[in-house]
Amino acid sequence: MDKLYWEGTETTPEVLFDPENQKYEITGRSFPEDPVEFFQPIFDWIDANLPEADHKVKMKMHIEYFNSSSNRMILLILKKLEEHLAAGKDIAVQWCYDDEEVLGDGQMYSTLVNVPFELVEVDE
């Protein structure tokens, strides 16, 4: 499995998928100019690498703000995780929030996909 790392910017989240250290994280703000261009490599990585995972994949998502285009892309990531869970992989999502709006987003996503969801309040 390959490592994927992108440093976050003012408009894009930091992405760290590190199978060797079993860290899978998307953190920061998400309102890229071209969401499909930004997120497509993430979708590709998930499809290429998760079938090889021999450990639990806990996707930590702490997205402080995202626009409607990113909303759709986040849902597609969760749907991809759901597909791999259905194929027998051990997958869960840890949705981190520091305000009620982000909590509400996590609660909404948890009803839209059949993936174990943990909602975690963080101080920031």
pLDDT tens-digit readout, 67-113? 999 999 999 999 999 999 999 999 999 999 999 999 999 999 999 99
Residue 17 in tokens: 């998928």
Q: What's the pTM value of the predicted model, to 2 decimals?
A: 0.95
Nearest to 17 by CA among 31, 36, 2, 32: 2
Question: What is the distance between the alpha carbons of residues 72 and 124, in angstroms, rounded to a whole number?
Answer: 25
pLDDT per position as a tens digit, 29-43:
999 999 999 999 999
Do the beta carbons of residue 46 and residue 77 sit within 8 Å? yes
pLDDT per position as a tens digit, 7-19:
999 999 999 999 9
| Domain 4-121, classified CATH 3.40.50, yes or no | no
pLDDT (mean) for 56-61: 98
Residue 123: the pLDDT is: 85
Residue 68: the pLDDT is: 95
What DSSP state is assigned to residue 9? -
pLDDT (mean) for 2-6: 96
Residue 124 has pLDDT above 80, yes or no: no
Residue 1: the pLDDT is: 82
